Amino acid sequence: MLPASPLSTMSATLLAAVHSDASDQELQDVDWTVVSSELEALRLRTQEELAELGTALDLVEAPDRINTIEEHDEVLAVHTELKSLQPQLTLAEQHFLQLERIVRPGLTKLQTLHSRAKYLEAAVQVEKLSHEAKTQAVQATPDALEAFKTFATFAASIPDEFSVIKREAARRVEDLSVDLRQFAVEKLQLALEKIGWPEPLKTQQDFAKKETELHDVSKAFAYLLTLQLSQQPRSLAATTALWAMDCVLDPLLLRFRYHFERPESATNRLAKPEWYLSHVHEQTNAHTRLLAHAL
């Protein structure tokens, strides 16, 4: 059985819309010619709209089909090219694997030699920098501090795997730290001796005569302060005695002990505590100008 055409379906729909109890006279009064014409016109308009919809659909689908075909062709071309390159890639892989087997022993040996060279370089630098720092330390100048800092920084940067060199460098840093203080103290003591310390400088003429020596005292004093601050943690700096002041006070303390700590000393009397205070006051007054001028 053939499927009903759209026109037949529409006719059946129209007939179904007519009341079943319509009389013969009412049906005869209908102008069926006009109805037929209207239906024909409707059919034509429907066919035109269907044709326009079909054309529009073709316009939309055609580029998609073209693109799909073109993309498929490109994928096939890439796939074909990859298949042609596969033998070359396999050959190249075999070549590099063979090359690696040849080079690997030499590369391992080269890495070992490089590590040994770094080790020897570190040893040479420790020897060189520690010697420079030791030489500068004797001079007790700011250059000595710079040389020491350079060596200490390098010693801290030595890799842990160079354990022997690292321990030796740390030992030398510690020894140099002691040497720096010793040489700096000796330099300040020598400068103080040149001005006749602890004899007081009483007049302006005394200061003028020893202007150069007093300048040396100032530099040696400042250097020893800087050295102490550079080597001690900040947490200890506020509570630790100053090395430079110890150098200055040692001769004064020696005199104090001579007068007030020896049992046989005539001035060592508990009944006369004012003598202690009087001595300290006299020494302070006698050296105030020097302390203010040079230190």
Identity of the amino acid at 78: V
Q: What are phi and psi of 269, to 5 degrees?
A: -130, 120
pLDDT at residue 284 is higher than 80:
yes
pLDDT at residue 215 is higher than 90:
yes
Sign of the dihedral through C-alpha 144, 146, 149, 150 = negative
- What confidence tens digit (pLDDT) does each residue in 156-174 have? 999 999 999 999 999 999 9
- What's the whole-number mean pLDDT along residues 248-267? 84
CB burial string 137-168: b at 16+ within 10 A, e below: beebbeebbebbeebbebbeebeeebeebbeb
Round to whole Å and give the CA distance between 18 and 35: 13
What integer pLDDT is reported at residue 200 of this predicted model? 87
Round to whole Å and give the CA distance between 155 and 171: 10
pLDDT at residue 2 is higher than 50:
no
- The Cα-based distances of 21 to 16, 57, 132 in angstroms read 12, 46, 130
Average pLDDT, the chain: 78
Tell me what percent of the residues of the chain surpass a pLDDT of 70.
Answer: 69
- The Cα-based distances of 10 to 2, 18, 20 in angstroms read 16, 13, 18
- What's the whole-number mean pLDDT along residues 56-79? 62
Round to whole Å and give the CA distance between 226 and 220: 10
More confident residue, 89 or 293: 293
pLDDT band at 233 (very low <50, low <70, confident <90, very high): low
pTM of the model: 0.56
pLDDT band at 74 (very low <50, low <70, confident <90, very high): confident
Judge contact between 180 and 227, C-beta under 8 A.
yes
pLDDT at residue 290 is higher than 90:
no
